[in-house]
A = this chain, B = another copy of it.
């Protein structure tokens, strides 16, 4: 039975941890700061992966796999690189264990020391670009559009296990192009692809835009981002894509012969997706009854709880539902997407006929796991040819005639998917505010995304960060671009940007 969920106002981090544990998504492992991803979480992650994979294949990207280990010298090559990511990482120094004499345990064999230490990848650009150097010689080899799904390890000190464990799953794309324009087009296109996914599958509203100069990835000339608002009004930076210009190619010495037969450095982009996405999915939609999952990514669409005293009654109940289940098996949940068209997902139905648990226990269990629809069916309702249908997002119940059941389920799943997005978009819009004075910015940034003018200086941005603990999340693509006055510095501003608190 669920314990009380920490309220949204109280402690948002604790609330997330509660959700993860109670919904049986993940747990702590015996390895410090590593977690066990349990089947329900893993199923959501697989659904995310499947849709993204289809999107990336639809845009001509390919998957490949590079080694887990990176020679230490690869990091030395590029001191800059180390500054950025890689100081806190797992270092492999030995390659053998041996039995300890006179004792029944084992020790690391001191004679099996590696000549050069290997680093467990915190990210893979060094080793991937090491390969690209051999793969790319001519413009005919370009573009090279490669994705890797992998586990990476970062040993930073952390405070919240489930938000980012030391080891985490991610996907990293590293593309190479013949021209600067093509690379920028790729980085912007992938922002759109990803935005399509986040809107239509995750049901999350967000602002797309560019990072200001001082917030972009050190190697990039442009960093594109989108920023959704969580329920505590903070921005979650869930995704960025980078136009890296020739910076990677210069660091890793990757040149190609262009169409004019001249030797030139390759243009690159990169972007990443990690299990942090799941964090966004959980926190954007969950309510006081725990998880709410959009049907497009839910491991189970519909749970059926037959309520009967005898095995015969249970069978009768299930038999009555069979025509509906047969119909659903023939049909698909269709999600409309810009890049995938009408994406089809088989309906996933779970029949929970476990005799050891009470109906009340089951209702609670599937509610807190966010299953979009539930059918509870008593034998007495069958006499009226109807069942009770419950939708998780609104917590509404209604009775539906058996003959209309499959149609109603299909209709409701579409409706729930849309409603979840609508709710999140209304919430975000209601908490987006145009501020024109510093006092207004100060007050509103606690609970709003604040659109304010900015004088384009790091100095001003840092002042806001120091005083208000808020940062410029992006220069949004949408909305009017008008000149004005920066409310912090009183200097001229070319356009408004979005200030917000963040994780």
Contacts and interface: CB of A to CB of B under 8 A. Distances in A.
Given A91-B92, A117-B108, A67 B356 contact: no
Given A31-B127, A39-B62, A76-B104, 7 more contacts: A29-B127, A36-B64, A37-B66, A39-B146, A68-B151, A72-B106, A150-B151
A315 to B, nearest CB: 20
The interface residues of chain A, by DSSP majority, are classed as: mixed
Contacts of A31: 67, 69-71, 118, 127
Interface in A109-152: 117-120, 127, 130-131, 134, 140, 146, 150-151
Interface of A: 27, 29-31, 34-39, 42-43, 46, 62-72, 74-76, 79, 82, 86-99, 104-106, 108, 117-120, 127, 130-131, 134, 140, 146, 150-151, 153, 155, 167, 169, 356
Contacts of A127: 29-31
A91 B106 CA distance: 12
B38 A153 contact: no
A97 B93 contact: no
Contacts of A79: 99, 104-106
Given A29-B127, A67-B31, A71-B31, A120 B99 contact: no
Given A42-B63, A43-B62, A88-B96, A69 B167 contact: yes
A377 to B, nearest CB: 23
Contacts of A71: 30-31
A272 B189 CA distance: 39
A36 B67 contact: yes
Given A95-B88, A120-B120, A146-B39, A106 B76 contact: yes
A67 B35 contact: yes
B97 A86 contact: yes
Contacts of A37: 64-66
Contacts of A153: 68
Contact of A65 (B91, B94, B169): B169
B118 A67 contact: no
A283 to B, nearest CB: 21
Contacts of A119: 97
Top-4 shortest CB links A-B = A34-B67, A39-B62, A76-B105, A37-B65
B93 A94 contact: yes
Contacts of A106: 72, 75-76, 79, 82
